[in-house]
Amino acid sequence: MQHSAPRSRRSFLQSAPLVAAGGLVACGQAEQQAAPAVQSQQHFKWKMVTTWPKDFPALGTGANNLAHSIEALSDGRLHVKVYGAGELVPASGVFDAVSGGTAEMGHGAAYYWKGKHEATQFFSAVPFGLNAAEINGWLRYGGGQSLWDELYAPFNLQAFPVGNTGVQMGGWFNREINTLADFSGLVMRMPGLGGEVLRRLEVTVKALPGGEIFQALKTGAIDATEWVGPYNDLAFGLHQAAQYYYWPGWHEPGTALECMVNKQALEALPADLQAVVAYACQAANDDMLSEFTARNSQALKTLVDEHGVQLRRFSDELLAQIGKVSAEVVAEIAGQDPFSSRVYDSFDAFRKNSIAYTRISEEAYTQARALTFG
């Protein structure tokens, strides 16, 4: 997709006597001459397909923001056009579109691709797994990213964590859920491993893309659903189709979103534009979590105060029972193949360490704050 290639970086460097050893230019005049020419003038036009409705709050707009950052940081040399779900390919076609080169980038969530490999789910959300800060820690400093790279390489993809919803809500129901028996017979939308857990609780599980949820719940095609949290759930109007809003979202404790990039497209970029992509992704990863943090609490207040939504907490007994089933479901993935076993071991070890520290840090702090501030 490159439009011009007037001069390669290599050919410039070979003919650039003013660039001193160590990369520093010798004087101000040399800097003025050297700086523009160091940059390749190649221009690239990329497509980003997404699993979200176009411009959907935080998810779709976060993808838009990533495209804008890449454009700005590259001084317009890398232009990314964003497509909502269904515009170029359906939500379920994003992985194949980027893998095959129909689009250079895709934004979605790794657990949507469990049909490609069960281990994808560890890089998005695992029931009773890592929260947002922990999964970023595992990916960046705990060995998670190199496992993700290994998983996606055969698909011709490079993945970057881009966004995190924080802990999600437990879902929308039209009747109270007090015991495991209350799940039995429900038809519920839930993706990923949470869906597999519910299957074992005799729930009929649907993995509908976001854009189809409201209609399905409103018409009774499904009895219950989870989506994300107050900000996104309010945007879909889910409170108009169900009365009870349960917490906490045991199934998605801090769902990592992803930007996947076609490897050939990425490697065709000059080194500085590859860095632009990587750092723009890192900035967008932080920005989307910040937006969810700010907007979810506002939206929760709107749902309760203005729409009369009934908040309900899953009981400790119920959560412990679901947790036991969840542990079995997640451990089964480890038994499927040697790679999944390595991912599980890495993830599980990180979780064990995190539990020990979180108990005396974030968890202890929020409990302490609640003693005074509620």
| Chain contacts with Ca ion (rule: CB under 5 A) | 168, 252
- Pick the closer one to Ca ion by CB: 168 or 340: 168
- Smallest distance from Ca ion to CB 237, Å: 16
- Pick the closer one to Ca ion by CB: 196 or 252: 252
User: Which whole-number Å values give the CA distances from 105 to 48, 258, 318, in the listed order?
Assistant: 4, 10, 40
- Pick the closer one to Ca ion by CB: 207 or 266: 207
DSSP assignments along 216-268, one per residue: HHHHTSSSEE--S-HHHHHHHTGGGT-SEEEE--TT-SSPEEEEEEEHHHHHT
* Residue 258 main-chain phi, psi, to 5 deg: -135, 150
- Pick the closer one to Ca ion by CB: 223 or 252: 252
User: Which candidate, 116, 158, 162, 153, places its Cα nearest to that of 265?
Assistant: 158
- Smallest distance from Ca ion to CB 168, Å: 5
* Residue 256 main-chain phi, psi, to 5 deg: -80, 130
- Pick the closer one to Ca ion by CB: 64 or 168: 168
DSSP assignments along 102-144, one per residue: SSSEEEE-GGGGTTT-GGGGGGT--TT---HHHHHHHHHHSSH
Which ranges of 260-315 would DSSP assign to H, the alpha helix?
A: 263-267, 271-305
* Residue 18 main-chain phi, psi, to 5 deg: -80, -10
- Pick the closer one to Ca ion by CB: 104 or 252: 252
- Pick the closer one to Ca ion by CB: 142 or 194: 194
- Smallest distance from Ca ion to CB 160, Å: 20
> Which region holds residue 204: left if phi is over 0, alpha if psi is between -120 and 50, else beta?
beta
- Smallest distance from Ca ion to CB 288, Å: 15
List the Cα angle 301/167/94 in 5-degree steps.
Answer: 110
The secondary structure of residue 189, as a DSSP letter, is E
- Smallest distance from Ca ion to CB 285, Å: 18
- Smallest distance from Ca ion to CB 352, Å: 25
The secondary structure of residue 21, as a DSSP letter, is G
- Smallest distance from Ca ion to CB 104, Å: 27
- Smallest distance from Ca ion to CB 308, Å: 23
- Smallest distance from Ca ion to CB 226, Å: 5
- Pick the closer one to Ca ion by CB: 106 or 127: 127
- Pick the closer one to Ca ion by CB: 186 or 261: 186
The answer to whether 111 and 121 are in contact (CB under 8 A) is: yes
The answer to whether 281 and 259 are in contact (CB under 8 A) is: yes
C-beta pairs of 5-14 under 8 Å, 24+ apart in sequence: 5/42, 6/41, 6/42, 7/37, 7/40, 7/41, 8/40, 9/38, 9/40, 9/270, 9/271, 12/37, 12/38, 13/38
- Pick the closer one to Ca ion by CB: 125 or 334: 125
Q: Which residues contact 226 (CB under 8 A, 6 or more apart)?
A: 168, 169, 170, 171, 172, 188, 189, 190, 194, 249, 251, 252
**SS3 label, residue 20:** coil
- Smallest distance from Ca ion to CB 84, Å: 18
